[in-house]
Each structure stands twice: as structure tokens, then as C-alpha cells.
Amino acid sequence: MSDPLVQRVADATPKKIARRIRGLSDRAIAWLFVGPTIFLLLAVNIFPLIWTIRLSLTNFRTNRPNNPVKFVGIENYQKILTDPDTWISMQATAHFLIWTIVFQVLIGFTLAWLINKKFRGNDLWTTLIVLPMMLSPAVVGNFWTFLYQPQIGLFNYFIQFISGTDPASFSMIGEVALAPWAIVIVDTWMWTPFVMLICLAGLRSIPTSIYEAAECDRASKWRQFWTLTIPMVLPFLMLAVLFRGIENFKMFDLVVQLTGGGPGSTTQL
């Protein structure tokens, strides 16, 4: 008896083609469906990557496309690795990457844990918390540029409220020591909801029977949290870290709107 999958495909095709498909193996059928996807992957991703590596070994310049292209080996890589500005940018990127992920995971998981507790207005609070990640980086950058203004920005007045510091005495986006933290704060505000949603999915995937069994064993809430909740949500946390790490390596538009890479080169990621 023929394979049901092959038979269904054959029934949906013209007779001449159907006779050919009936003679194909499962492996051939699989390649028939997977082949176009692999071809598109090679055409869209792999080929441009190989072409870019090839160009990196030449003297090609995008602003001088008509100049003769010559092979220069690893000269371009040597210039990058010996350029002090490269290491300054890497340091700024590492600072931004580490602290945004730390804050987003801690705050995002805390919010997810709180929202997972059923209470009145749960859905409303979830919607309000998720709103920042729906905005474009350009809008967020302009919005926070206004909030960071020393004279009229609400952020400086908030700092004055909790610490008594004169709001006009500092500028979050105008000082070398504060500008990197200004970007960390904005990115954390914008993308913590994303981490929260992933953690919330993880928390709601845990069967309640596990906690019921732990309570029968007289395990405290604290012990349940560390031995059940954290281990079972950890894969979701790692997924959130992976996604945010990839996106933060590509950060550009938010920085341009907030600081333009300044002051100096302190926020050139």
C-alpha cells in the first residue's frame, strides 16, 4: 500500500505528474518541499555573506565604486583592530549590552511574576506595560530627549524628588559619565515589556499540579520559587537574553535620536 502522504499529493496533481510522484521515496518528497527554502536561504543569506567577506579582502570602497579593485588580504582587518576608536566603541557596546540585558531580565521577570498573579485589572495593566515596545525608536528617542532636558525635563525633576539634586545641575545626554546610562534607561523602558511577555509565557506554561505536589510535601513558597519556578522558566529567560542580545548589537536609531553618538564618542555603539 502506498504512503498516505504520497497518495494525497498524487491525488491533488495531474495524472502524468501523479504517476511520477507515486514512484518517489519519502526522502525525495522531503527534498521536494525543503529544496526551495534552502535555495532561498543560500541566495538571500549565504551568498551575500560570502560576497561581503570577499570584498573585505580588497580595497573596495562604496564611496568610490569606480576605482580598480585590488586584493589587500587582511589589511582592512588590521586597520580595524589597531584603531583606538574601534575599541572605544566595543567598550561602549559591551556596557550597553550587559546592563540593558541585566535590567530587562530582572524587571521583566518581576513584572511577569506579578502579572501572573490573578488580580483585578490584570489585563489592563498588561496592556499599559506593553505599550512602550509598540512605539518606533525614533518616537521614543524624541520623547526621551524631551524628558532628559535639564530645565523642563521630567526625568531631572524626578531625580530631584528622590535625591534633592538640582535638576539644572546635570544633563543625562550631555555629560560623558551619564550619556551611556541615559541610553540604557531608555532601552530598558522600551524593551522590558518584551522580556516580560516571554517570561509570562514561561510562567503560565508551568502546570499547577507541580505546585500542588510541592505544597503536599510542605515546601515553602520561597523553596518552590527557587526549585520549581526558576528552573522551569530559565529556558524562556535564555531565549529573551538571546533575542535582546542580537537586537542590542544592531542598535543605531535610538542612539542617533538621543545623543548622536556623543558627547564625544562615548555612545558610539
- Paired with 71 in beta bridges are 58
Q: Which of 83-87, 105-109, 115-119, 142-146 has the highest mean pLDDT?
A: 105-109
Give the residue-averaged pLDDT of 185-204: 94
User: Cα(37)–Cα(45) distance, rounded to whole angstroms?
Assistant: 12
Which set of grid coordinates corresponds to residue 174? 550631555
Please check whether residues 44 and 161 belong to one and the same domain.
no
74 and 109 part of one domain? no
Residue 65 has pLDDT above 80, yes or no: no
Q: What CATH code is carried by the domain that includes residue 153?
A: 1.10.3720.10
Is 268 contained in some domain? no
Mean pLDDT of the region 7-34: 63
Domain membership of residue 185 (yes or no) is yes
pLDDT surpasses 80 at 216? yes
* pLDDT of 202: 92
Does 43 lie in the same domain as 160?
A: no
Assigned domain for 220 exists = yes
Residue among 114, 266, 119 nearest 200 (CA): 114
Number of domains in the chain: 2
> Does residue 94 lie within any of the structural domains?
yes
Does one domain contain both 53 and 93?
no
Is the pLDDT assigned to residue 124 strictly greater than 70?
yes
Range of the domain at 129: 83-258
- pLDDT on residue 1: 45
For residue 263, tell me if it sits in a domain: no
Distance CA 108, CA 105 (A): 5
Same domain flag for 228 and 109: yes
Q: Is 120 within the bounds of a domain? A: yes
Distance in Å from the first CA to the final CA of the chain: 62
Estimate the crossing angle of helix 154-163 against helix 137-147, to 10 degrees. Answer: 50
Do residues 236 and 200 touch, judged by C-beta distance below 8 A?
A: no
Q: Is the dihedral of CA 97, 243, 233, 221 positive or negative?
A: positive
Looking at the structure, tell me whether residues 50 and 164 fall in a common domain. no
Last residue in a domain, options 79, 102, 130: 79
Task: Inform me whether the pLDDT recorded for 3 exceeds 80.
Answer: no
Instruction: Tell me phi and psi for residue 38, to 5 degrees.
Output: -65, -40
Question: Is the pLDDT at 186 greater than 80, yes or no?
Answer: yes
Residue finishing a domain among 20, 55, 79: 79
* Cβ neighbours of 261 (radius 10 Å): 17
pLDDT at position 174, please? 82
Q: Is 74 found in the same domain as 88?
A: no
Which one is predicted more confidently, 121 or 53? 53
68 plus 95 within the same structural domain: no
* pLDDT of the residue at 4: 63
Please check whether residue 267 lies inside any domain of the structure.
Answer: no
